[in-house]
Chain A
Amino acid sequence: MTLFEISRKRLAENIAFWIFRLLSLGVMGILFSILGFILYKGIDVVNWDFITKMPEDGMTKGGIYPAIVGTLCLITGSMIFAFPIGVMSGIYINEYTKDSWYRRFVQLMTANLAGIPSIVFGLFGMALFVNKLGFGDSILAGSLTLGLLALPVIIRTTEEALKSVDDSYRHASLALGATKLQTIHRVTLPVALPNIITGFILSIGRVSGETAPILFTVAAYFLPKLPSSIHDQVMALPYHLYVISTSGTNIKDSRAMAYGTAVVLILIVLILNLIANAVRRYLGKKYKTN
């Protein structure tokens, strides 16, 4: 091998790596330009009044208070439904089933559910909850639809969290005479908890930003008052952003409100991500998982 060949190989490697580096930086650049642009344009709009006042003048002034309340209602409702079922399901799959056909089948179905487009959840929610069960457009129908959407995420993170708990913990507990349930309750779950909570927080992020499933199950264009029961419709942040940026009566005038709403949505996701990372780091230190 001549010196020339070696340097040619090095040159090719350098060029290739630089291209990769630039493309990766490009991806980062895209993200930061999207975030930067929206934050730059909208951060001035977001102030205390914006998040605590009702919309005024056909959504061109005022705030987005009812949309924030609506999104909180939907997050709470969907998590009350999805979190316990998701965690229980994850526990059953990881702790009780061996590598059987049942386990593979349930995992396959969970993966399929995760891959179903959100608009199909919307159609299903409308057909089952709104029409068949007669809930109408309501927080109940919307929360159940969103809950089903979040379910696979929670199940999968619970499963992963439990899988990362070393078997020696389980064996030690069982050897001390604890039952299977006691082992799960006292040993496995506490160790897996940080990762389960991380999954929980990330699924809140997912639920708070979804629009398609709530279009026909709960979301309202404008409501002058806050919801009083789970049978009421609500406004929601992502739907609010959609309507005031595309189909409002005065799109130009409500642009500032739209930027502000987008900033609030981004901040929610950003903050939830930070919390999730913090939980993973700090609670994770308490127990060592492999």
Chain B
Amino acid sequence: MIKKFINKLIEGILMLSSTVTTLTVLLIIVFLFSEGLSVFKESPLEGDNIIVLNHQNKVSHISSSDIKDIFDQKITNWKLIGGSNDSIILFTFNEINNYFSEEELGPEFEYLPAKMDSLLESQSGMIAVFSKKYLLKSHRSKIIQADKINPYSFINGSEWFPTANPAVQLGVLPLILGTLYVSFVAILFALPVGLATAIYMAEVANEKTRRVFKPVIELLAGIPSVVYGFFGLIVIVPLIQSSFHLPVGETGLAGSIILAIMALPTIITVSEDALRNTPRSMKEASLALGATKWQTIVRIVIPYSYSGISAAAILGIGRAIGETMAVLMVTGNAAVIPHTLLEPVRTIPATIAAELGEAPANGIHYKALFALGCILFLITLIINLWVEFSSKKRRIGK
């Protein structure tokens, strides 16, 4: 009786531990998305800042990028953002001494609210952004809302200035494009070389050579990414800088080269396994018909293992997209949409790694970085599921 109970108990414990991975995936989803999606409830203004206008102004809400354009003086008339034809007068605290003397404001700025209110009412086109505590209780000026961060402008926006003042700019398009760009170029480098190595190991090399190659490739996979990054930083970056005569060597190309080297083991191992799965009888039939070994490889082995090879390529891209440290160290981290490989770029993982340390917990920047994490998670999840299901189909197909 007791023995049976103990057996059941142990089985229960084993079962519980088998649920840990599922639980972790679920928890990751819950935490990532609850933090990440809450960025869309945030106003782009810093702290408890508010936007205050003259009460006659017809504008009732304003987007984050418009605020930036107004303060960069790219938008100079209210007409452009739905108001009346009146030029915009900026008020910034740097220029406060042009308006008021220190005595007028009082030693602890106690007269500032009243002064601000009357200043805003005297100029019909004025806009000011300041902390809520400087707002007069019986204010005549009009407070308007900054639009909340919206998902469309988040994905589609091309400016990433998460700490900009007065309004943060959260456009992740340059980061997404940078990530995909660097990763795809890396696979373009790595796939031909990796595939050739896999074919060599599976079909051409003798047993002895294979016994040398296999552990070396395992070792290549085991080297920490920060060591690759370090190597890239001291060897590849200066090399690129001098051979292309660039001001800086930290470029997308450097990232792609390092990622290509790092993706090689994945591509080689997965495609070698796929090539090896070709049934012996098919190869022998081809050879018996007079085909050379090379013809057999091209006409029989590669077509047969096509889906495995494509899985290798996709997995390689997945690895490259998620890689953080090496890319962070060699790509130069400029959050602009890349046009050539010889410019600095910035990827999603590198952005998270570089900025999360400085972002105050639960602030808008912190949440935006979690939202980036969500995008990264979704991209890699899709890649994993794709590989998983395509390999299942392959197994059933056999």
Residues of A in contact with B (beta carbons under 8 Å apart): 1, 9-10, 12-13, 16-17, 19-21, 23-24, 26-28, 30-31, 34-35, 37-38, 84-86, 88-89, 91-93, 96-97, 105-106, 108-113, 115-124, 126-128, 131-132, 148, 151-152, 155, 179-181, 202, 205-206, 208-212, 215-216, 238-239, 241-242, 245-246, 255, 258, 262, 265-266, 269-270, 272-273, 277
Contact = CB atoms under 8 A, between A and B. Distances in A.
A127 B35 contact: yes
Contacts of B223: 34-35, 209, 265-266, 269
B106 interface: no
Contact of B216 (A28, A116, A117): A28
Nearest to B373: A123
A88 B13 contact: yes
B197 A23 contact: yes
B222 interface: yes
Contacts of A17: 200, 204, 294
A88 B233 contact: no
Which of A26, A148, A180 counts the most chain B CB atoms within 10 A?
A148
Contacts of B194: 27
Given A124-B32, A212-B324, A239-B226, 19 more contacts: A28-B216, A34-B228, A112-B384, A112-B388, A115-B318, A123-B370, A123-B373, A179-B3, A180-B7, A181-B11, A211-B225, A211-B325, A245-B230, A245-B233, A245-B234, A262-B227, A265-B226, A273-B215, A273-B218
A212 B351 CA distance: 12
Contacts of A97: 18
Interface residues of B, number: 83
Contact of A116 (B200, B233, B377): B377
Contacts of B388: 108, 111-112
Contact of B380 (A89, A117, A126): A117
Nearest to A245: B230
A24 B196 contact: yes
B287 interface: no
A211 B383 contact: no
A20 B233 contact: no
Nearest to A239: B226
Nearest to B20: A85
Contacts of A180: 7
Contacts of B11: 92, 96, 181
28 contacts: A13-B293, A13-B295, A17-B294, A20-B196, A23-B197, A24-B196, A38-B227, A89-B17, A89-B21, A92-B17, A96-B14, A106-B21, A108-B388, A109-B22, A116-B25, A119-B324, A119-B352, A120-B377, A127-B35, A131-B361, A155-B21, A181-B10, A181-B11, A206-B222, A209-B223, A209-B227, A212-B325, A265-B223
A124 to B, nearest CB: 5
A120 B218 contact: no
Nearest to A202: B222
Interface in B15-41: 15, 17-22, 24-25, 27-28, 31-32, 35
A246 B233 contact: yes
A209 B196 contact: no
B35 to A, nearest CB: 6
Contact of B24 (A16, A113, A277): A113
A120 B349 CA distance: 8
Nearest to A123: B373
B270 interface: no
Contacts of B268: 27
B240 interface: no
B183 to A, nearest CB: 12
Chain B interface main SS type: helix
A120 B204 CA distance: 40
A103 B194 CA distance: 33
B239 to A, nearest CB: 12
A63 B264 CA distance: 33
A262 B235 CA distance: 14
B349 A110 contact: no
Nearest to B3: A179
Contacts of B231: 34, 37-38, 262
A258 B324 CA distance: 19
Contact of B32 (A120, A131, A209): A120
Interface string B366-398: 000110010011001101110010000000000
A181 B7 CA distance: 7
Contacts of A24: 196-197, 200-201, 205, 213
A132 B328 CA distance: 28
Interface string B125-164: 0000000000000000000000000000000000000000
A119 B229 contact: no
Contacts of B377: 116-117, 120
B220 interface: yes
Given A112-B384, A273-B222, A96 B15 contact: yes
Contacts of A238: 224, 226-227, 325
A108 B24 CA distance: 13
A206 B295 CA distance: 40
A123 B226 contact: no
A28 B11 CA distance: 46
A281 to B, nearest CB: 11
A120 B28 contact: yes
B357 interface: yes
Nearest to B349: A119
Nearest to A131: B361
B376 to A, nearest CB: 6
A93 to B, nearest CB: 6
Contacts of A123: 32, 352, 356, 369-370, 373
A242 B329 contact: yes
9 closest Cβ contacts across the A-B interface?
Answer: A209-B224, A117-B322, A13-B294, A92-B14, A88-B17, A115-B384, A23-B196, A20-B200, A92-B18
Contacts of A28: 213, 216
Given A112-B385, A119-B322, A211-B226, A127 B292 contact: no
A245 B233 CA distance: 8
Contact of A13 (B35, B233, B292): B292
